[in-house]
Amino acid sequence: MDDICIAYFLEDIGQELFITALVERIAKDAGVQRVRSQVLNATRGGGAALAALKRFLHDAVREQRHPYRLLVVAIDGNCKGYRERRRSICSIVERSGYQGEVICAIPDPHIERWYLADPEALRQVLGCKVDFEVPAYKCERDRYKQILRQVIQKTGVIPPLGGIEYGDDIAHALNFYHVCKTDQAFKHFMDALKGFFQRSGQSETNCH
């Protein structure tokens, strides 16, 4: 399979480190020799990510160009939930008339919950045994950020970025089967990615 160019519209560095690594891992598993990734937005939250997406789609449609095989758009659920967030993204894409592939990544409620979704993966990355259970779902500002920081601090390490600096390593260590069973938003993202790579030789327009 040829190289695939992927563009990302993300909220922050925590999403960037985790999600880009996740996509590259899935691509490799699908036999893609190389993924060329370009992050077009990864700061200032979901509003900035969606604004950057709108500008890109407008220019792409106006100029009739599709420089990327896939757009990945990530917005935290933030208590609004998976369906509402996905509906908002797909509405933007459909109104633009863009004829390319778009996949939604919607950590619900926040990306740090995906960092914590597989305790064994986190133990492997940290290189020591850390006793903790996957926290129950609760929509509370900074809840998962605080838990991630506390888990890492138990190892004697003070994470300068609160733990998100481990995003790449955690994404590569995850047990997908386990996480998909416990986190539906993660499963939706995985299913969409796998579907994209399976049909990557076809010309198809979809928002997933």
The total domain count for the chain is: 1
pTM equals 0.92
103-150, pLDDT tens digit by residue? Answer: 999 999 999 999 999 999 999 999 888 888 888 888 888 999 999 999
* Cα distance between residue 191 and residue 185, in whole Å: 10
Full domain range(s) for residue 66: 4-207
Question: Looking at residue 69, what DSSP letter applies?
Answer: S
166-to-96, 98, 101, 137, 149 alpha-carbon distances in Å: 36, 34, 29, 22, 11
21-70, pLDDT tens digit by residue? Answer: 999 999 999 988 789 999 999 887 778 999 999 999 999 999 988 889 99
Can you read off the two tokens belonging to residue 188?
């939706």
Residue 132's Cβ-side half-sphere holds a number of Cα atoms within 13 Å equal to 24
